[in-house]
Structure formats: structure tokens, C-alpha cells
């Protein structure tokens, strides 16, 4: 981020200086042209005017590009964050990226506004001390207004957002209750409610807006008056021949330039806080410091582990190729135990060390992508023959999933839970896992398929962990551990 | 660029004429004031330089300088008025279109609503409806104000240069050039619509895929195959990114076009200024006005481009809203509810007035669906629901709601005063206080509706359904959250209404209270 900030600052300096220079040149060329309208002056004036337009447009395009690049980079970071198992409110993270991207260029605008104050020197040199004094006086008066307007608009926009959110929520409540409202004959009432609520909100917001616009317009007003007064002072100077036309025009355009730069920053000022909030929100995307690699010889080493719902601490060592079965009633903390063992959740107390082996987690809620069976199970590496053989071994050889081009629905709504479990297992086996963890899935399988599943996992050299309420896939585990109040 | 949906919505969302005229007037006046300030000031300086030597116009020039000062004073209040009227327009649009959305979704069948409410379609619809305010506020009004200002500047040109015979021709040439550029921008915006549509779809698809992968990522990470999840995201991301790049490219091309057009109009302006200034009898004001016209044209191009960007975005919005507004039913009923006691019949089942019928069957056998069909919330496909000998679908919606009470399995409530939440603006035709007490949910008039327990929610839903003393009551598991002594209370209240009751239930005490049991699994009616 720091390199971007310094880049933005240099861009701001360049844009501020170029703006001042073009204002200066515009004053001179316009004066020469109007005193002696010959073609060469007209060409010069054309050049300067075009240069100003090109400068504006180039800046726009440049920022468009920078924003695109930022959006792209943040999009990539968000994607890798998600792909590596990061969780969070993805929708609000996406919103934060947008806010951050929109905040790009604010620093440049700030710096450019600062740089434009160099124009005060030009003002003094070309416009005389009186112009400078008048302008500084007006600007000095407006500084407190600028600050107040900035604060107010920041506060008002937060306030507005909040009200808008509440109103939107109320509206959504109504939309979500629509069938009930309709059944009770209350739709007309709902519409009346919306109108009444919106209108009372409108009155409040209008009040806030009146204040905000009022104070931000005070600054615009003072800017206008500053330009007008400067024009008047140099104008009278020109009339009584104490000042040349080119000095007068230069003074005028430089004044306009300073005011424009200031106003440009002031109107975007409130986006600063949005961008700051977004930065804080996106801090989660920074990769967490990697844990020191566990150097254990076995597969799992668990010491005095307590998780949600467990009553007695659990300790065990599981070597590679061994199997463990944990049984307990519902609510005894089985699923949390699985999460903690696999590092998806922190334990309440105790420690878990795990060799980093490819692990297949088989639970009833296994997720698939909206893609073909081939992509979902083969993961781009397994051959069709292997996929079909694995499906056959799990008793899915004659199911519709043996058609490898069939597209799975992402929410699995058309899949029975038994099929889902077996597909997840097929995916894990094809990925060549060394550890398999079954989270209470045995009861979802009928006897025949449970037998097939047991056969295909026990005749490989796999480390197996199963938590269950009763029925087991791993029929003869090396260790059998009870959970719960025993 | 306005394609038909946008044009339709433009008409539909037209604000009341006095507000829009006020906003438009203020916007135009502020635009003119701004122009006078930015172009008039240097012009007056030039004029003062030209008249340094004659003493007569001194006062005139000094007057002009003071006029500029006045304009500087005036501009801010004008902008203020413009923005405030703009917000009035915006809020009127929000109120109007939110009401519209509620009424539109209210006409949907239950099926369509439940599909929509599972995803974030309702949220998006709300966002779309809210963004309609930009149509006038940020597209039409600025555009019209700029066009008006440009026209005024052209009229000024004709007036100032009236002595020159070629002035009307020059003005015509400028108008033609400006029209050509604006038309080109319109065409470009129209051409960008398909891209904008695809880009929008790609963006939504990427978000959806991100949600999908979030659910599966931990499993893939454990498998040691995060690369697969990443590749899956990448595919959607690349598509989104490619389309974004394409639209950025369009923006760049358009900027280039604008620069060329700007160079053209500036060149033309300066050429004319040089030409006129060197002709006999010309004054500096000619060139000044020409310059003014040229600079306003530059402004016109930029504003048109911005307004068109908004129009493109809103075209997509209105297309989505048109989809929402599609009717899924044929013409709504208009008949009145038959007078006197009614017999309800559907699919071989005849329910005489006052009969109580229990719907039983395992979950998933269609009890709730049947109740919704009987309430005309969902279309019955295989049979028609008859009230005496009128088809329910022919009866007006408001009549049905008055005569048919419905209690959903999981009732939904709004927020606000309890009386409003339950009464929903209907005049009670029962003694509300008495029934509320009998049901065990005392309701002082001033209480706010608060989150209640499931049992209280259900009893309140019954009170809400009884409000208009309906002849037919349809109840979906009304006792599932109730304790052993609350169920008899509820049945007692039902007993007193003497309405026809059709109750989907698993509760044996309710089943035994009913006269007839209809088993949906077997289609058998068991009389008791």
C-alpha cells in the first residue's frame, strides 16, 4: 500500500503543477490573442485549451486504469483467500473492495490541492498584493467552513447510510412476509406503511441534507466570491491602466485553478472514511503468519483436548495407518471435535498436532461445485477409468453419476445424502488422501453400501478417524473412544 | 439509446411536473451562472483592456464587473435549490417504487415468492427499485440543463453577431456538429448494452461462485487440493475481468472520440474568432461568445457521456424489474363473495358450512400446499376450488381475504404497534380484546409488537386471521408450539367462531376435535 500512496502523491504533484502551468499559459495566450487576434496566437490558444482538456481526460483515464488494476489485484487476493479456506462475509468483503477502489485517487487530489497553493505566489506577482490579500481573506474565512462542511458531510453520510439501511430492512421485512400479509389481506396496509415510513424518513433526511448541502455550498459560495472579487480587483487595475491584461488574466485563471482543486478534494473528502473502513475490513485477507510446522512422526497427537460439548479431556496418539472410532450421543461435541482435529476451529483447551497429510473430510454436508462429475471427482488429475472404477467400488457404478458429464448442482438438492457421502468419498480417494475422517455418516448409508464403503477404505493403507452415534464404517478400529457423560 | 424498457420506465417514473421543473430550472440557472462566472470574468477583463482609453464605457465595464460579483453570490443558492429539489424527486421515486414493488410481489404466487426469497433476489429487487431515482436525478435533468445552456449560448451568438451575414450559418454548423457528436455518443451507448448485460451477468456469476467455493474450500484445503478451488474461482474471475477490460476499452475509445470532437469545436471556434476579429467593425465580444459556445460544447459532451453511462446501467435495472412485473396468473377475479352460509368443495371433498376437517398425512404429503391452494395463494392445478358454485379464482382478492382466514405454520409479522401488526389496517369485526384474552395474549392498544415465543406467535396469528370474522378458516399446524392447556383454549376460541375450519395437524387432540379427517396420503375421508 505504501508504494501506491507515494505513487499517488507524485501523481498529485504532477497534476497540480501541470494544472497551474496550463492556467498560467492560458492567461498569457488569451491576453495576447485578444489584443492581437492573429493566427499564431490563435494556434497557441488552441494548443493551451486543448492541453487543459487532454490533461483532464488523461487524468480520468489514468485513474480508470489504476482503479481497474487495484480491483483486479484485490479480486485475486479475495479469490486466493477464499480458495485457501478463508471464511467470512464474502458479500461485504466484495463491497469493501469496491469502496477501497473508489478511494483510489483521493490522496492525489489532496496533494494536488496542496500544490495548487503555489499559485498564491503567481497571484502576488501578477495580481498585486491587494488581490492576494482579498483572496487570502476570503479563503481564510472559508477554511473553518471547509472543515465543518467536511465533518458534517462525513457525519451526515454515515447517518444517512444508517437510516437507509434501517428503512431498507423494514422494506425487506415486508417483502419477506408477503405471503402472510397477502393471506391476511394486509398488503394495502403494508404499502401504506412503506409510504408513511419513507416519508417520515424523508423529512429527517431532508433536514440533514439541508445542513450538509448548506455548509458545503458555503464553501462553494466563498470560492465563487473569491474568484469574483479577484476579477474585480484586477479588472479595476486594468481599467486604470495600472495592470496589464495578461497579468489580470493570469491572476484570474490561477485563482480559478486553486478554488477548483480545493473543491474537487472537498467533494470527495467523505469517501476517505469509507476507504479507511474498507481497509480495516480487508485486513483479514493478509495471509496469517504460518504456524511452525508440526514435526510429529505419527498422524495425530492430541493432549488434554476439550471442545464444545465435551465433558472429559481427550488424549491420544494415532500413528499412520491406524484407525480411531469416537462414539457419543448427539450433542456430545462430535462435530466440533472433528473441526478441532482438522484445525478448522480452535480448541477450548489442550493441543492438537497433526501431520500435514492430504485429508478427506466426509460429512453429510459435503459441497460440490456446479460442474460435471468428472471435474468434481477427478479434480483435473484422475482419469475417467479411475473415476468409474472408484464409483463402481462404492456402488455408484450404475447410478446417474457414472455419466461423467452430468453436472452436479451446487446445493446438492437433487442428491440423496447417501449419494452425497459416497461422492465425497470418491473425490477423496481419487485425490489420493492418506487420512480419512468420517463425521457421523454411517447411518446415512444402507447396509449394502456401508459394506462397500468399508471395504474400499480398509484395504488401503489409510489413517482413519470416525465419529459416530452408533453405526460404524470402520468396523474394527484400533482405538475406540467414548465421548460424553460416561 | 433509450431502448423500450427504459423509455417505458422513464414515462412511468416521471416526477410531478412542478418538482421536476423546479429542479430543472435551478439546474439550468446554476449552469448559466457558473458559465458566466468562468467565461464572463475573463471576457470582461478583455473588454476593460479594450476600453482603457475611452472614459465613457468605464462605468459600463465597472457595472459588468459588479454583475459578475453578483453572479458569484447567486450561484450557490441556485445549486442548493437544485440539489434539494433533486432529493425530493429521488425520495418521491423511492416511495412510489417501493410501494409498487410491494404490490407487485404481493401478486406473486406463493411458489414464485418462495423461490425468490431463497436467494438474494428480493434484496436485489429492492436495490434496483431504489436506483430508479437516478434516472431523472442524475441522467435526465443534468442533460437537459446542459442542452438548454448550450442553446442559449447559440442564441446569444446569433444576437451578438447579428450584423454578420454568416452568423446563422455558423450557428447551424455548430448545432450540426454538436448533434452529430451527441448522436454518436447515443449510438455508442446503445451498442454497449449487450456488453453491459454480459458484464453484469459475469459479475453476478463470479459472486455466486465465490459463495459456492467458500462452502467447499475447507474440504479442498484438507485434501491438499486448494489449487482446484482456486482454478474454479479463476475461471469466473477471468471472464469477469475480460468483460471489465472490454468495457474499459470502450470508455477509452469514447474518450478519444470526445477529445477529437473537443479539438474540432475549439478549432472551429478559434478560427471564427480570428476571422471575425480581423474583419472591419468587429468587436472583442464576438470572439468571446464564440469561445463561450465552444467551451459549453465541451461541457455538453462530457455531461451527455455521463448521463448515458447512467442510462445504460438503468436499462439493465429496468429489464430486471420488467421480469419481476411479469404476471404469472391470468386475469384476477372480480366477483363478490356469495351471501349466506358457504359450502367449500375441492377435488371430490365437500365441506358444508361450519364443518371441521383435519388434514393428516406424513410431512411432504402436501398439506401446506393444499391449504395455500384453498386460500388462493397458489394456483390449484388438478382441481378447482368452489365456494357454493363459484370458482374461487373468479372471486375478487379483497373479498377472499375478508372471508377466508389463513394461519401459516410459521407466521411472519411486521414491526410497529401490536394493534397495527395484527389488525393490518382492517376494521375489526370481532371483540378483539375478548378474543385476545381468551387466547391468553392480552393486547393493550399501545404496546409495540415484540419478538414473542413460538406459541404466542401462533396464537397471535389466529387472532390476526379472526380479525374480520371469516367464514372459512385455514390453519397450518396451529398447535405445534402450544402447551397442553393452551391447545384447548385455542380450540375453544375456534368453537365459538362457528366458521368452517380446515386444519393441517399432527396433534391428536385437534384431530379428535374435528368432525372429519382427510388423509392426504391415501386420499381417504374418515368420518367420525
Q: What is the mean pLDDT of residues B289-310?
A: 88
**Residue B410, pLDDT above cutoff 90:** no
pLDDT tens-digit profile of B497-515? 888 999 998 888 899 999 9
Asked if A187's CB is within 8 angstroms of B102's CB, the reply is yes
Q: What is the mean pLDDT of residues A407-432?
A: 79
**Residue B55, pLDDT above cutoff 60:** no
pLDDT value at residue B278: 63
Contact (Cβ atoms closer than 8 angstroms) between residue B386 and residue A157: no
pLDDT value at residue B363: 66
B-interface mutation test, from A179, A360, A365, most B Cβ less than 10 A away: A179
pLDDT value at residue B1: 43
The minimum CA-CA distance between A94 and chain B, rounded to whole Å, is 8
- Secondary element (H or E) of residue A334: helix A334-341
Alpha-carbon distance of B19 to B16, in angstroms, equals 6
Alpha-carbon distance of A148 to A171, in angstroms, equals 34
Alpha-carbon distance of B269 to B297, in angstroms, equals 10
pLDDT value at residue A288: 61
- Secondary element (H or E) of residue B180: helix B167-191
The minimum CA-CA distance between A188 and chain B, rounded to whole Å, is 8
- Secondary element (H or E) of residue B382: none
Alpha-carbon distance of A33 to A31, in angstroms, equals 5
At residue B356 the predicted structure's pLDDT band, cuts being 50, 70 and 90, is very high
For residue B457, give the 3-state DSSP assignment: helix
**Residue A3, pLDDT above cutoff 60:** no
Q: What is the mean pLDDT of residues A307-336?
A: 83
Pairing state of beta strands B516-519 and B524-527? antiparallel
CA-nearest residue of chain A to B118?
A176
Reference A323, options A112, A473, A130, A206; nearest CA is A473
Angle, helix A2-35 to helix A39-83, in steps of 10 degrees: 160
Taking phi first (over 0 means left), then psi (-120 to 50 degrees means alpha), and beta for anything else, what does residue B281 get?
left
pLDDT value at residue B280: 53
How high is the ipTM of this complex? 0.81
At residue A254 the predicted structure's pLDDT band, cuts being 50, 70 and 90, is very high
pLDDT value at residue A473: 84
**Residue B198, pLDDT above cutoff 90:** yes
Asked if B41's CB is within 8 angstroms of A42's CB, the reply is no
Angle, helix A90-102 to helix B193-223, in steps of 10 degrees: 130
Pairing state of beta strands B356-360 and B516-519? parallel
Measure CA B101 to chain center. Answer: 7
The minimum CA-CA distance between A67 and chain B, rounded to whole Å, is 11
A-interface mutation test, from B36, B59, B120, B222, most A Cβ less than 10 A away: B222
Cell of B183: 448522436
What are the Cα distances from residue B302, in Å, to A346, A377, A401, B185, B477? 56, 53, 56, 10, 62
**Residue B209, pLDDT above cutoff 70:** yes
The Cβ of residue A58 has, within 10 Å, a number of other Cβ atoms equal to 14
**Residue B61, pLDDT above cutoff 80:** no
Segment 252-271 of chain A within 8 Å of chain B by CB: 252-253, 256
CA max distance for chain A = 109
Alpha-carbon distance of B83 to A237, in angstroms, equals 37
Asked if B95's CB is within 8 angstroms of A175's CB, the reply is no
pLDDT value at residue B54: 61
Q: What is the mean pLDDT of residues B382-389?
A: 85
What secondary structure does DSSP assign to A347-410, as a single string? Answer: -SEEEEEE----EEEE-TT----SSBHHHHHHTTTS-HHHHHHHHHHTT-TTSGGGSTTPBPPT
Alpha-carbon distance of B16 to B92, in angstroms, equals 9
Contact (Cβ atoms closer than 8 angstroms) between residue A195 and residue B95: yes
pLDDT tens-digit profile of B165-179? 777 787 888 889 889
Q: What is the mean pLDDT of residues A127-132?
A: 88
Closest CB from A42, A178, A213 relative to B274: A42
What are the Cα distances from residue A209, in Å, to A164, A204, A219, B22, B30? 13, 9, 15, 18, 19
Closest CB from B80, B375, B467 relative to A183: B375
pTM of the full structure:
0.79
pLDDT value at residue B285: 67
CA-nearest residue of chain A to B217?
A85
State chain A's mean pLDDT as an integer.
84
For residue A480, give the 3-state DSSP assignment: strand
pLDDT value at residue B146: 92
pLDDT value at residue B523: 78
**Residue B204, pLDDT above cutoff 50:** yes
Segment 288-347 of chain A within 8 Å of chain B by CB: 342, 344
Asked if A198's CB is within 8 angstroms of B223's CB, the reply is no
Asked if A193's CB is within 8 angstroms of B213's CB, the reply is no
CA-nearest residue of chain B to A339?
B218
Asked if B52's CB is within 8 angstroms of A252's CB, the reply is no
**Residue A145, pLDDT above cutoff 60:** yes
The minimum CA-CA distance between B419 and chain A, rounded to whole Å, is 12
pLDDT value at residue B445: 60
pLDDT value at residue A257: 92
At residue B284 the predicted structure's pLDDT band, cuts being 50, 70 and 90, is low
Q: Which residues contact B211 (CB under 8 A, 6 or more apart)?
A: A90, A91
pLDDT value at residue B277: 66
**Residue A275, pLDDT above cutoff 60:** yes
Lowest mean pLDDT among A301-310, B213-222, B368-377, B449-458: B449-458
CB contacts < 8 A, A to B, total: 334
Task: Give B-chain residues touching A369 at CB under 8 angstroms.
Answer: 212-213, 216, 232
Q: Chain B within 8 Å of A189 (Cβ-Cβ)?
A: yes
Tell the burial category of B82 from Cβ atoms under 10 Å away from its Cβ (0-12, 13-18, 19+). Answer: buried
Q: Which residues pair with B407 in a beta bridge?
A: B475
Alpha-carbon distance of B442 to B440, in angstroms, equals 6
CA-nearest residue of chain B to A368?
B216
- Secondary element (H or E) of residue B398: helix B397-403
Cell of B130: 431504489
pLDDT value at residue B309: 92
Cell of B165: 451575414
- The 3-class secondary structure across B335-361, one letter per residue, is ECCCCCCCCEEECCEEECCCCEEEEEC
Q: What is the mean pLDDT of residues A224-241?
A: 85
pLDDT value at residue A58: 92
**Residue B147, pLDDT above cutoff 90:** yes
Q: What is the mean pLDDT of residues B31-42?
A: 83
pLDDT value at residue B474: 93
- The 3-class secondary structure across A427-450, one letter per residue, is HHHHCCCCEEEEECCHHHCCHHHH
pLDDT value at residue B330: 62
Task: Give B-chain residues touching A71 at CB under 8 angstroms.
Answer: 244
Measured CA angle at A331 (ends A325, A334), to 5 deg? 30
**Residue A325, pLDDT above cutoff 80:** yes
Task: Give B-chain residues touching A341 at CB under 8 angstroms.
Answer: none
At residue A118 the predicted structure's pLDDT band, cuts being 50, 70 and 90, is very high
Task: Give A-chain residues touching B227 at CB under 8 angstroms.
Answer: 83
State chain B's mean pLDDT as an integer.
83
The minimum CA-CA distance between B484 and chain A, rounded to whole Å, is 27
Q: What is the mean pLDDT of residues B379-389?
A: 84
CA max distance for chain B = 116
Q: What is the mean pLDDT of residues A71-84?
A: 88
pLDDT value at residue B342: 83
**Residue A1, pLDDT above cutoff 80:** no
Pairing state of beta strands A463-468 and A323-327? parallel
For cell 467447499, the residue is B216
pLDDT value at residue B52: 62
Asked if A68's CB is within 8 angstroms of B224's CB, the reply is no
At residue B2 the predicted structure's pLDDT band, cuts being 50, 70 and 90, is very low
pLDDT tens-digit profile of B450-460? 767 777 888 88
DSSP-derived letter for residue B39 is I
Asked if A76's CB is within 8 angstroms of B237's CB, the reply is yes
pLDDT value at residue B279: 59
Amino acid at each position: 500500500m505504501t508504494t501506491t500512496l507515494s505513487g499517488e502523491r507524485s501523481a498529485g504533484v504532477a497534476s497540480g503543477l501541470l494544472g497551474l502551468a496550463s492556467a498560467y499559459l492560458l492567461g498569457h495566450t488569451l491576453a495576447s490573442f485578444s489584443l492581437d487576434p492573429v493566427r499564431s496566437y490563435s494556434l497557441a490558444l488552441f494548443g493551451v485549451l486543448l492541453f487543459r482538456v487532454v490533461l483532464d481526460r488523461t487524468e480520468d483515464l489514468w485513474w480508470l486504469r489504476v482503479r481497474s488494476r487495484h480491483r483486479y489485484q484485490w479480486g485475486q487476493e479475495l479469490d486466493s483467500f477464499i480458495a485457501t479456506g478463508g471464511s467470512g462475509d464474502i458479500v461485504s468483503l466484495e463491497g469493501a473492495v469496491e469502496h477501497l477502489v473508489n478511494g483510489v485517487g483521493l490522496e492525489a487530489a489532496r496533494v494536488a490541492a496542496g500544490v495548487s497553493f503555489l499559485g498564491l505566489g503567481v497571484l502576488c506577482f501578477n495580481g498585486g498584493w491587494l488581490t492576494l490579500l482579498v483572496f487570502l481573506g476570503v479563503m481564510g474565512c472559508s477554511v473553518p467552513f471547509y472543515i465543518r462542511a467536511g465533518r458534517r458531510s462525513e457525519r451526515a453520510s454515515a447517518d444517512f447510510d444508517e437510516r437507509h439501511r434501517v428503512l431498507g430492512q423494514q422494506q425487506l421485512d415486508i417483502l419477506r412476509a408477503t405471503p402472510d400479509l397477502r393471506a391476511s389481506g394486509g398488503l394495502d396496509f403494508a404499502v401504506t406503511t412503506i409510504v408513511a415510513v419513507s416519508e417520515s424518513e424523508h423529512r429527517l433526511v431532508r433536514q440533514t441534507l439541508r445542513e450538509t448541502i448548506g455548509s458545503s455550498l458555503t464553501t462553494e459560495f466563498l470560492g465563487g466570491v473569491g474568484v469574483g472579487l479577484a476579477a474585480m480587483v484586477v479588472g479595476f487595475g486594468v481599467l486604470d491602466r495600472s495592470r496589464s491584461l495578461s497579468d489580470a488574466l493570469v491572476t484570474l485563471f490561477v485563482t480559478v485553478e486553486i478554488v477548483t482543486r480545493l473543491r474537487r478534494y472537498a467533494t470527495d473528502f467523505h469517501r476517505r472514511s469509507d476507504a479507511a473502513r474498507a481497509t480495516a475490513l480487508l485486513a483479514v485477507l493478509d495471509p496469517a503468519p504460518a504456524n511452525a510446522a508440526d514435526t510429529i512422526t505419527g498422524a495425530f497427537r492430541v493432549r488434554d483436548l476439550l471442545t464444545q460439548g465435551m465433558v472429559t479431556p481427550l488424549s491420544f496418539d494415532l500413528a499412520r495407518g491406524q484407525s480411531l472410532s469416537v462414539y457419543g450421543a448427539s450433542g456430545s461435541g462430535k462435530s466440533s471435535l472433528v473441526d478441532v482435529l482438522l484445525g478448522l476451529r480452535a480448541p477450548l483447551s489442550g493441543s492438537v498436532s497433526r501431520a500435514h497429510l492430504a485429508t478427506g473430510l466426509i460429512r453429510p454436508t459435503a459441497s460440490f461445485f456446479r460442474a460435471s462429475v468428472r471435474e468434481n471427482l477427478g479434480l483435473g488429475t484422475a482419469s475417467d477409468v479411475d473415476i468409474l472404477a472408484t464409483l463402481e467400488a462404492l456402488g455408484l457404478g450404475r447410478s446417474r453419476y457414472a455419466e461423467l458429464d452430468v453436472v452436479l448442482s451446487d446445493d446438492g438438492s437433487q442428491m440423496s445424502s447417501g449419494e452425497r457421502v459416497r461422492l465425497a468419498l470418491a473425490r477423496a480417494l481419487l485425490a489420493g488422501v492418506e487420512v480419512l475422517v468420517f463425521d457421523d455418516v454411517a447411518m446415512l448409508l444402507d447396509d449394502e453400501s456401508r459394506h462397500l464403503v468399508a471395504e474400499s477404505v480398509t484395504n488401503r493403507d489409510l489413517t482413519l478417524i470416525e465419529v459416530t452415534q452408533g453405526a460404524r464404517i470402520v468396523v474394527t478400529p484400533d482405538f475406540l473412544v467414548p465421548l460424553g457423560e460416561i | 439509446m433509450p431502448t423500450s424498457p427504459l423509455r417505458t420506465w422513464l414515462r412511468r417514473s416521471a416526477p410531478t411536473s412542478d418538482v421536476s421543473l423546479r429542479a430543472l430550472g435551478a439546474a439550468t440557472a446554476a449552469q448559466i451562472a457558473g458559465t458566466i462566472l468562468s467565461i464572463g470574468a475573463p471576457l470582461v477583463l478583455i473588454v476593460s483592456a479594450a476600453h482603457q482609453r475611452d472614459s465613457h464605457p468605464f462605468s459600463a465595464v465597472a457595472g459588468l464587473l459588479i454583475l459578475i460579483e453578483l453572479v458569484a453570490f447567486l450561484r450557490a443558492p441556485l445549486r442548493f435549490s437544485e440539489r434539494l429539489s433533486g432529493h425530493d424527486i429521488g425520495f418521491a421515486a423511492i416511495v412510489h417504487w417501493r410501494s409498487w414493488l410491494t404490490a407487485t410481489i404481493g401478486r406473486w404466487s406463493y411458489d414464485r415468492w418462495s423461490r425468490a426469497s431463497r436467494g438474494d433476489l428480493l434484496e436485489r429487487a429492492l436495490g434496483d427499485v431504489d436506483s430508479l431515482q437516478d434516472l431523472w436525478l442524475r441522467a435526465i435533468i443534468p442533460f437537459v440543463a446542459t442542452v438548454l445552456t448550450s442553446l442559449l449560448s447559440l442564441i446569444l451568438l446569433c444576437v451578438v453577431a447579428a450584423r454578420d451575414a454568416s452568423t446563422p450559418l455558423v450557428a447551424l454548423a455548430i448545432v450540426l456538429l454538436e448533434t452529430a457528436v451527441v448522436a454518436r455518443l447515443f449510438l455508442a451507448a446503445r451498442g454497449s448494452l449487450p456488453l453491459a448485460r454480459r458484464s453484469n451477468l459475469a459479475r453476478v456469476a463470479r459472486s455466486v461462485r465465490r459463495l459456492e467455493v467458500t462452502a467447499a474450500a475447507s474440504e479442498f484445503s484438507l485434501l491438499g487440493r486448494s489449487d482446484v478451488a482456486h482454478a474454479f474461482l479463476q475461471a469466473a474471475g477471468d471472464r469477469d475481468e475480460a468483460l471489465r477490460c472490454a468495457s474499459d476499452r470502450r470508455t477509452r475509445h469514447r474518450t478519444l472520440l470526445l477529445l477529437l470532437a473537443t479539438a474540432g469545436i475549439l478549432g472551429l471556434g478559434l478560427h471564427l474568432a480570428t476571422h471575425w476579429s480581423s474583419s472591419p467593425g468587429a468587436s472583442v465580444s464576438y470572439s468571446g461568445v464564440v469561445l463561450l459556445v465552444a467551451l459549453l460544447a465541451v461541457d455538453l459532451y462530457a455531461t451527455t457521456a455521463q448521463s448515458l453511462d447512467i442510462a445504460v446501467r438503468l436499462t439493465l435495472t429496468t429489464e430486471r424489474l420488467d421480469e419481476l412485473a411479469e404476471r404469472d396468473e391470468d386475469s384476477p377475479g372480480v366477483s363478490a363473495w356469495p351471501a349466506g352460509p358457504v359450502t367449500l368443495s375441492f377435488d371430490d371433498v365437500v365441506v358444508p358450512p361450519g364443518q371441521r376437517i383435519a388434514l393428516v398425512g406424513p410431512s411432504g404429503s402436501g398439506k401446506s400446499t393444499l391449504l395455500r391452494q384453498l386460500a388462493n395463494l397458489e394456483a390449484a392445478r388438478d382441481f378447482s376450488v368452489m365456494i357454493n358454485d363459484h370458482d374461487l379464482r373468479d372471486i375478487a382478492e379483497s373479498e377472499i381475504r375478508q372471508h377466508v382466514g389463513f394461519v401459516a405454520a410459521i407466521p411472519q409479522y411486521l414491526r410497529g404497534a401490536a394493534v397495527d401488526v395484527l389488525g393490518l389496517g382492517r376494521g375489526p369485526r370481532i371483540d378483539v380484546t375478548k378474543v385476545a384474552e381468551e387466547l391468553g395474549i392480552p393486547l393493550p392498544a399501545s404496546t409495540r409488537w415484540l419478538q414473542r415465543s413460538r406459541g404466542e406467535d401462533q396464537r397471535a396469528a389466529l387472532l390476526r386471521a379472526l380479525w374480520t370474522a371469516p367464514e372459512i378458516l385455514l390453519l397450518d399446524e396451529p398447535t405445534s408450539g402450544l402447551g397442553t392447556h393452551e391447545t384447548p383454549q385455542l380450540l375453544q376460541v375456534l368453537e365459538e367462531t362457528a366458521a368452517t375450519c380446515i386444519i393441517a395437524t399432527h396433534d391428536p387432540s385437534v384431530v379428535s376435535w374435528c368432525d372429519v379427517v382427510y388423509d392426504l396420503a391415501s386420499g381417504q375421508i374418515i368420518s367420525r
